[in-house]
Structure 1
Amino acid sequence: MTTTATQGSRGGPESQAPRGHASPGAALAVLPHVLRTALAWTDAHRGEFALPDDVLDPRTQVNATLKPLGELAQLCSTVRAATAPGTPEHEVAGDLVTYAWDEVAQGALLLELLRAEPFAAYPYEIYAAFAGYGLRHEGFEALARPLTATRAWAHTEQHANRQLGLINSERRVGVLTHTDAGGVLSRTWLGGLSEPWTFEGPSGYALTHTVFHLTDWGRMPDRVPEKTDAYLRTWLPAWADGCLESGQWDLTGELLAVGASLPGPPPLELLDAVWPVLADVQHATGCVPETGVPVHEDAPTGVRGHEDAPDPYPFIDCYHSTLVTAFAAALSLRSLRSSRSLTDGSGPSRERHTP
C-alpha cells in the first residue's frame, strides 16, 4: 500500500519540520545506504539520460536532454573522486560517467554543438565535466582554445555565479581563465554576505552553485574564503531548517553538499540533524523527489533500491534531486570519515584536494 506523509502548514511533512536535536553519528549511520541506493536508482535509469537522435536540431530542448546528461557526468565524476577505489559506489559512478561520455560520442557531439554555438557556455561546461575526469577530445579543444581567448568570450554577459562556473570549466580544461575568480565571487549573493533572511529558492541555488564552482564541486575546499566559510557555518542550519519545513528536498541536498565542501572540520550538527531526515524522504527505490510530500511504500526488507520496483515520481521530477543526494552523500561521507580519522589518530590530516 502506498501512503504519503501528512502535509504541514508550509507544504512539507509535519514529521520533517523543523529539525530536532542532532544525535552524534546520525549522519554516518544513514549515509552509506543513502549513497548506495541513490546510485542504484540512477544506474537502473541510465537509459532515461540517453540523448535523442535529433539532439543537434536547434529546436531540441537543451534542459531536457543535454542538461541532465551533463549533470550525470559532473555529479558522478565527483562521487567517484570522493569514494574509495574498489567500492561498489566508486565503480558504479565511474560506469555512469563512461556511459555519459559514450552518449556524447566521446566528445565529437560536443564539438558539433560548439561549432553551431561557439559562444554558448553549455557545450564548454559539459565538456569540462569530462575533461576534469580525464576524458578529452582533441578536436573540441583545438576549436575552443582560440574561442576562449577572444574578447567576446571574456565579456559574455551572465550572472556572477554562472561566470564562476565558466572560470572553473576553463581551469578544468587547462586554459587561462578569462577573469579573476575572486572579483567575480564578490559580486555574488554569497560573496556579498547578503542578509541571511533574504535567502529563498533562487538565491539558495545561486549560493550552492557559487560554492560548487568555487571549490570545483567540493574537491578544493580551501578556495572558500575565511569570511565566507564563517558565514556559511553560521547560517546553513537555519536555511536547511527552512528547506526541510517547506519540503525543498533538492535544495536541502545541495546545502548539505555545501556543508561538506567547506575547509576544516565538517559541520557535524548540521549533517547529523539533516541527513536522517533526507534519508527518510528517500523512496524505497532510492530516488528522492525534488519537492513536496514524499511517497512511502510498505516494502519487504531487502528490496530498497530494487530496480524492478515501480517509480513513485516522473523521472524529470526526481533525477536531479537523486543525483544531488548521491553527490552530497559522497562528499559528506568523505568529510566525516576524514574528520573521524583525525580525531582518533587513525589517519592523516583531512584531505583538501581530491584529484
Structure 2
Amino acid sequence: MAGGALPSRALPGRLRPDDRLRGSVDGFPAWPPVGDPPLEGQPDPSQVLDRALAWLTAHVPWFGPKWDEFFPQSAFPGVTVLELLLLCRVLRRGPRAAASADLVEAAPDVAQEMAERPAFLGDLYRADADFAHRVWLLALLHGLGRPVSDQLAVARGLVEARGSDVSVVDWAMLYVLELRYILDMAEIPHSLPTVPELYAGCGVHRIDPLSTTENEGYVLAHALLYATALGGRPLPSCGGPTAERRLRDVLHTLLGVHLATDHYDLTAELLMCAEIAGGVSDGLVRHAWHRLAAAQRSDGSVPGPPFQEAVLAERTDAAADAYAFRTCYHTTLVTALAAAERECSRRRRGQWRRQCLRLRRPGANARRDACWTGVAGGCRRGPGRTLAPMPLARRSGRSASGWPTGPPRPRPRRTSPLPPDCRRPCRHR
C-alpha cells in the first residue's frame, strides 16, 4: 500500500496496525506489510494444551452447578458442558488419553447429573428447538461409556415417530448438517441428505473473506467441523481442486484477519479448520500458535473477545472468578480442542506413514511377494505387463538360493492403496 506516513509506534511483525490509525478515513496511512514475522523457535501447542487442560479441569464445576449459581439459566443448561464433552471425546482418541483422565472422568459426571434430572427427560419428549443438542449430549455421554441407553431409546423413538425426518423446511443448511452429525453419532436412523450434499449446500467455498462477518466466520468453521466429524473423516470434495484452493485461501485470509483483531476464539476454531483442510501457510499457522501462547493468561485460560482486564480488576473473590470463567471458558476450550485435534491428526498421519513403510517390505502382501519373486528369478514385471527376463547385467547380487542379497535394481514398480487423507508425498504414488 502506497501513500501516507509510517506511524512511529508501529510494531513490525504484528498483524495489527497502530491504534492511532483506527477509524482513519482519509490519507490512507500505511504500515509495514503483513507477513510472517521473525519467530524464535517453533511454537509448542502442547504446552498451550497442558495449561488449558489444567484450567479446564480445575473449573469443571463451573460447567454445571456453579453456572446455575452465578449466571441466568438458558433453555438448555447443558450447552456449556456439551462442548467440554467434545474435547473429552477428542482427548480419549488421542495420545493424551491417560494424561487427561481426570478431566475425561469429571466432565461426564457433571453432564450425566444433568441428563438424569426429571426435567431433562420431559424436555426431550417435547422435541423442541433444543432437541438436537439434548440428543448430542446423550450421544457424547454414551460414547464416553456412561449409561444413558434409556434416554437414547426415547430419542430414537421420537425420531422414528416422525418417519425419520426431523428436518425443518426453514432451517439453514448448517443446522441440518449439524443435526446429521448428531444423529450419526447417536446411531439414530434418519432420512436427511448426505454429508457431501449438506456441506455443498452451506456454500463455504463461495464466502468472500474480505466481507465476512463474525457470525459467518463461525458458520464456515462449524460447517467444516461437522462435515468432518471434528477431523475424524476427510473433508468432502466440493467443486473440484479450484474450490478447494479457494477454501484454503479463505481460511488463510480469515485467520490473518482475526489475528489482527485479537479474536482468539475464532482464531482457535480456524486453526482447527486449517489442520483439517491442509494447505494453509505454515508460517501463518506457526504465528497463530505463538500468538495464542502469548495471549494465554498465567492460570492457563485464554481470554475471549469480551474479556477486559480493567473489568476483572474491579471485581473480587467469587465475582472475579465468575467473570473470568464467563469471558474465557469458550476460548480456552476451543484452543484446547484445536491443540488436541492437532496432536490426533499428526498421530493419524504417523500411523499412515508407518503403514506405508510396512508396505515397502517383502512379504507385506501377496502382490508384493509376486513382484519380489519375479525379481529374484531374474524377471521383471511392470503394471499391466507379463513377466519378462531381466538383462543379466541389471540383476542384483544373489545368494546360492537365488534370492537377492541386497536391494534389487531396478526396484519393482507397484501401486498400493493409500488413505484418502494422506497428503504426505511418498513412494506409493
The TM-score, its normalising length taken from structure 2, stands at 0.64
Q: Does 1:318 align with 2:328?
A: yes
Q: Output the amino acid matched with 2:166.
A: W
1:212 aligns with 2:225: yes
The secondary structure found in structure 2 opposite 1:20 is coil
| 1:255 alignment partner in structure 2 | 270
The 3 A distance-change label for structure 1 pair 80 and 336 is same
**2:227 touches 2:235 (CA, 8 Å); kept in 1?**
no
Is 1:160 paired with 2:173? yes
Partner of 2:197: 183
What is the distance in 1 between the residues matched to 2:307 and 2:357?
41
Shift of 1:174: 0.8
1:202 and 2:219 equivalent?
A: no
* 2: CA distance, partners of 1:252 / 1:294: 18
1:146 to 157, 172, 197: 157
Q: What does residue 37 of structure 1 align with?
A: 51
Partner of 2:397: none
Gaps of 5+ in 2: 1-15, 24-32, 311-319, 359-417, 423-429
Q: Residues of 1 paired with 2:419 and 2:173: CA distance?
A: 30
CA contact (8 A) 1:188 1:210 kept: yes
Question: 1:173 and 2:183 equivalent?
Answer: no
Find out whether 1:129 has 2:129 as its counterpart. no
Q: Does 1:268 align with 2:268?
A: no
Is this contact kept in 2: 1:51–1:103, CA < 8 A?
A: no
8 A contact 2:199–2:236 mirrored in 1: no
Q: 1:269 to 1:22 in 2, by over 3 A?
A: farther
CA drift at 1:197: 2.2
- Count of matched residue pairs: 322
The structure-2 alpha-carbon separation of the partners of 1:22 and 1:160, relative to structure 1 and needing over 3 Å to count, comes to farther
1:329 paired residue number = 339
Counterpart for residue 9 of structure 2: none
Within-5 A mapping of 1:55-66: 60-62=73-75, 65-66=77-78
What residue identity is the alignment partner of 1:232? L
How far apart, CA to CA, are the structure 2 residues paired with 1:52 and 1:293?
Answer: 19
Q: Distance in 2 between matches of 1:291 and 1:159?
A: 26
Secondary structure in structure 1 of the residue aligned to 2:121: helix
2:42 to 14, 21, 26: 26
Q: Superposed, which structure 2 residues align to 1:42-57 within 5 Å?
A: 42-51=56-65
Structure 1 position 233, deviation (Å): 2.1
Q: CA deviation at 1:54?
A: 8.1
- The reply to whether residue 244 of structure 1 matches residue 275 of structure 2 is no
| Aligned equivalents of 1:166, 1:314: Cα separation in 2 | 32
> Which protein has greater RCO, CA pairs closer than 8 Å, 6+ apart?
1
Structure 1 unaligned spans of 5+: 12-16, 297-309
**Quick one: distance in 1 between partners of 2:190 and 2:38?**
42
For 2:36 and 2:322, the matched residues in 1 are separated by 28
- 1:289 corresponds in structure 2 to 303
Match of 1:67 among 79, 84, 106: 79
Partner residue in 2 for 1:77: 89
CA-CA distance at 1:106 after TM superposition: 5.8
Q: Please state whether the residue corresponding to 1:42 is helix, strand or coil.
A: helix
Q: Secondary structure at the match of 1:166?
A: helix
Do residues 104 (structure 1) and 143 (structure 2) align? no
Q: Deviations over 1:208-263 (max 9, x none)?
A: 1001111111211344546554333222222111101112110000000111223x
AA paired with 1:240?
A: L
Q: How far is 1:161 from its partner? A: 1.1
Cα distance, 1:67 vs. partner? Answer: 1.2
TM-score of the aligned structures, taking structure 1 as reference length: 0.76
Higher helix share: 1
Q: How far is the alpha carbon of 1:346 from its aligned partner?
A: 10
Deviations 1:254-273 (A, max 9, x none): 000111223x6786333212
Give the aligned residue type for 2:188: V
CA contact under 8 A between 2:167 and 2:192: conserved in structure 1?
A: yes
Offset from partner CA, 1:105-161 (integer Å, 9 cap, x none): 468764333024456322122223334444452222222123223156233632211
**Structure 1: how far apart are the matches of 2:55 and 2:167?**
40
